Amino acid sequence: MKILNVDQIRALDQATIQNEPIAPLNLMERAALAFVDWFVDHFPDTTLTKIFCGLGNNGGDGLAIARLLLERQYPVEVHVVRYAPRESDDFMHNHRRLKLVTEKVNYIEFSRDIPALRHNEVVIDAILGSGLSRPTEGIVKSTIEAINRAPATVVAVDIASGLYADQPNAEDDVIIEPDYTITFQLPKLAFVLPKNGRYVGEWHTVDIRLHKRYIDLAPTPYYFTHPREARLLLHKRDRYSHKGTFGHALLLVGSYGKMGAAVLSARACLRSGVGLLTVQIPRCGYPVLQTAVPEAMCRPDGHQYVLTGPSEVEGPPPGDYTTVGIGPGIGKAPETLAMFRELLPTLKKPIVVDADALNLLSENRELLEQVPPNSILTPHPKEFERLTQTWKDDYEKLGILRDFAKTHQVVVVLKGAYSAVATPAGEIHFNGTGNPGLSTGGTGDVLTGVLTALLAQGYDPVEAAVLGVYAHGLAGDRVAEQRGPIGMVASDVVDALRWE
Ligand SMILES: NC(=O)C1=CN([C@@H]2O[C@H](COP(=O)(O)OP(=O)(O)OC[C@H]3O[C@@H](n4cnc5c(N)ncnc54)[C@H](O)[C@@H]3O)[C@@H](O)[C@H]2O)[C@@H](O)CC1
Ligand SMILES: Nc1ncnc2c1ncn2[C@@H]1O[C@H](COP(=O)(O)OP(=O)(O)O)[C@@H](O)[C@H]1O
Ligand SMILES: [K+]
């Protein structure tokens, strides 16, 4: 699903109006109806609903929503924040329509006009939408502050008032802090950026049938992975397949004290459909791995505690495996760096690079050029900062991320809430699965195993990253559903992986 910028959203509205064709007022009615359909599914008709409207089209939406809820017998109060002398045309039309249904429309010009808000009430925020062009001030700002102080549940129409859809806000901007944002047709870039968490809440898109052809043709580097899109990436298994069909992966993982990372990545790799798995671990990990992961073959390293490369047992060179996953738990010993330095030029196919292997790249930047093209790098923000530079805001970070993936021709999974998969072509795919329960040691090692398995099965690296990140997050969501997010451990995530 595409993420478009504000200019494109405006053009998309116009394209819909001209090509469908549909009158602007009817498009607003359709938007209001879609919002109301969601709203009545979530709040009973006894909910006292206070709708705050601005004077633009977001306010127009709010007035239409008020009328539609009144028709459905909801107890509704309308409060228009009168911050300017002029209203938009569609605001005026909806104002007239609303007046046919109720005489009671309140106007907020001064702070004393702001109504009291209680915990069992719902506030609908329709003050400002995607037309925001400057920081909130005056009575708009005071109203937003009052809403944010109140214990009521807040639902934002399209986007929280005061939040820019596609550019950074200033630290001191006053912005609605909604519980929910119900947005029209496509998500906004602002919704998936860490700084904005409290200005978005739980967000949902509602379909208002905007012009499909315009959306299909609109150029954008930003995408949000819809569950349907993720499922389409999944390869079907042939009836006559055999274990050779699904690749032979080599994981280079673990060190003394961090053998858990090796076990987690190996188990996740097996649970993600790899045909055969060999794991090279320092000698001290041999009994651990053979016991915890009997399905994997083991290549004990010549070194007792860290990876050095040469193995005690015969085996093909790493370049002969279908793919290699390296990093979880390996540490940064000089011997391990030497191994990494020797290994990289021998690899020709895409690999997965995580954790300390990424830190080795940051500290030895010349190695970056040796990483096979289209490899998948999976940094968390700190690791990514070490690989690149600091950023002043989330938007600058996205620019750095796109540049890095393009310059080095790699796929980068920047992990966290809404993990971002950056492609060598400069696109970014945001992932919506996962929850804060995943913020616990080892879940990243699980992701490395997942991605290594997908590469081994012949997935295109971008598709592997998008699908793997999606499935990993979904596994976390299954665990959260069953036992709650707090106390989830990485092994639970492995067990909850499903490929269907
Ligand atoms: N155009 C369309 O066909 C549709 C638009 N829709 C709604 O329209 C909204 C966008 O409407 P608008 O473009 O009118 O935008 P807004 O409703 O955000 O209002 C913009 C107006 O407010 C002013 N303004 C901007 N920042 C301000 C601030 N900080 N303080 C005070 N005034 C400020 C602007 O100068 C402009 O006059 C969307 O968010 C959505 O809710 C929906 O009805 C769907 C269809
Ligand atoms: N709040 C969150 N919401 C969704 N996913 C999260 C959240 N916090 C962490 N994750 C996911 O958990 C994983 C953590 O990886 P990482 O930081 O490398 O952990 P570790 O190094 O301990 O294995 C990543 O896949 C990340 O996207
Ligand atoms: K709003």
Quick: pLDDT tens for 438-454. Answer: 999 999 999 999 999 99
Q: Does a structural domain hold residue 213?
A: yes
**Final residue in a domain of this structure, among 192, 219, 246:** 219
| Nearest of 41, 40, 63, 48 to residue 118 by alpha carbon | 48
Same domain, 199 and 248: no
| Nearest of 150, 124, 159 to residue 48 by alpha carbon | 124
Could you report the per-residue pLDDT of 349-400, keeping only the tens digit for each?
999 999 999 999 999 999 999 999 999 999 999 999 999 999 999 999 999 9
Residue 95 C-alpha to ligand 2 middle, in angstroms? 47
Q: Cβ(378) to ligand 1 under 6 A?
A: no
Same domain, 168 and 269: no
**Final residue in a domain of this structure, among 171, 189, 219:** 219
Same domain, 203 and 295: no
Question: What whole-number distance in Å separates Cα of residue 324 and Cα of residue 318?
Answer: 7
Q: Cβ(61) to ligand 1 under 6 A?
A: yes
What mean pLDDT do residues 133-156 have? 98
- The residue whose CA has the least distance to atom 35 of ligand 1 is 133
What mean pLDDT do residues 175-198 have? 98
Q: The tokens of 390 are what?
A: 């600091």
Q: Which atom of ligand 2 is found nearest the CA of 354?
A: 18
**323-326 and 352-353 strand pairing:** parallel
Which residue out of 12, 27, 51, 57 has the highest number of ligand 1 atoms within 8 Å of its CB and is therefore the one to mutate?
57
Q: Which ligand is nearest to the CA of 63?
A: 1
| Residue 425 predicted with pLDDT over 90 | yes
| Residue 255 predicted with pLDDT over 90 | yes
Same domain, 77 and 144: yes
| Residue 243 predicted with pLDDT over 90 | no
Residue 156 C-alpha to ligand 3 middle, in angstroms? 5
Q: Cβ(182) to ligand 1 under 6 A?
A: no
Q: Cβ(90) to ligand 1 under 6 A?
A: no
Residue 25 annotated as binding site: no
Q: Which residues have C-beta within 8 Å of that of residue 138, sequence separation ≥ 6?
A: 83
Question: What whole-number distance in Å separates Cα of residue 357 and Cα of residue 374?
Answer: 16
Q: Does a structural domain hold residue 12?
A: no
Prediction ipTM score: 0.95
Same domain, 30 and 136: yes
Q: Which atom of ligand 1 is found nearest the CA of 24?
A: 3
Same domain, 314 and 191: no
Residue 73 C-alpha to ligand 2 middle, in angstroms? 45
Could you report the per-residue pLDDT of 39-66, keeping only the tens digit for each?
999 999 999 999 999 999 999 999 999 9
Same domain, 177 and 121: yes
| Nearest of 224, 234, 161 to residue 189 by alpha carbon | 224
- Please, are residues 85 and 53 in contact by the beta-carbon 8 Å criterion? no
Same domain, 287 and 204: no
Q: Which ligand is nearest to the CA of 208?
A: 1
Backbone angles phi, psi at 182, to 5 degrees: -110, 110
Q: Which ligand is nearest to the CA of 59?
A: 1
Residue 113 C-alpha to ligand 2 middle, in angstroms? 45
Q: Does a structural domain hold residue 224?
A: no
Q: The tokens of 251 are what?
A: 């994981």
Q: Which ligand is nearest to the CA of 160?
A: 3
Q: Cβ(83) to ligand 1 under 6 A?
A: yes
Q: Which atom of ligand 1 is found nearest the CA of 159?
A: 39
Q: Does a structural domain hold residue 194?
A: yes
Please give the single-letter amino acid code of residue 276. Answer: L
Q: Cβ(157) to ligand 1 under 6 A?
A: yes
User: To 5 degrees, how large is the angle CA 50–CA 52–CA 53?
Assistant: 140
- Using pLDDT thresholds of 50, 70 and 90, give the confidence band for residue 421: very high
**Final residue in a domain of this structure, among 188, 219, 250:** 219
What mean pLDDT do residues 6-13 have? 98
- Using pLDDT thresholds of 50, 70 and 90, give the confidence band for residue 469: very high
**Tally of domains in the chain:** 2
- The residue whose CA has the least distance to atom 14 of ligand 2 is 444
Tell if the pTM clears 0.90, that is, is over it: yes
Q: Which ligand is nearest to the CA of 355?
A: 2
Residue 132 annotated as binding site: yes
Question: What whole-number distance in Å separates Cα of residue 470 and Cα of residue 393?
Answer: 25
Q: Which domain holds residue 428?
A: 230-496
Residue 204 C-alpha to ligand 3 middle, in angstroms? 14
Same domain, 281 and 389: yes
Q: Does a structural domain hold residue 11?
A: no
| Residue 68 predicted with pLDDT over 90 | yes
| CATH number of the domain to which 431 belongs | 3.40.1190.20
What mean pLDDT do residues 305-319 have? 95
What mean pLDDT do residues 404-419 have? 98
- Using pLDDT thresholds of 50, 70 and 90, give the confidence band for residue 242: confident
Residue 231 C-alpha to ligand 3 middle, in angstroms? 32
Q: The tokens of 299 are what?
A: 């290549």
Q: Does a structural domain hold residue 165?
A: yes
Report the mean per-residue pLDDT for the chain. 97
Residue 10 C-alpha to ligand 1 middle, in angstroms? 10
| Nearest of 220, 289, 205 to residue 252 by alpha carbon | 289
Which residue out of 255, 413, 415, 419 has the highest number of ligand 2 atoms within 8 Å of its CB and is therefore the one to mutate?
415
Same domain, 386 and 241: yes
Q: Does a structural domain hold residue 2?
A: no
| CATH number of the domain to which 27 belongs | 3.40.50.10260
Residue 8 C-alpha to ligand 3 middle, in angstroms? 18
Same domain, 253 and 144: no
Q: The tokens of 183 are what?
A: 């947005």
Q: Does a structural domain hold residue 3?
A: no
Give CA 143 to chain center in angstroms: 31
Same domain, 260 and 389: yes
Residue 417 annotated as binding site: yes
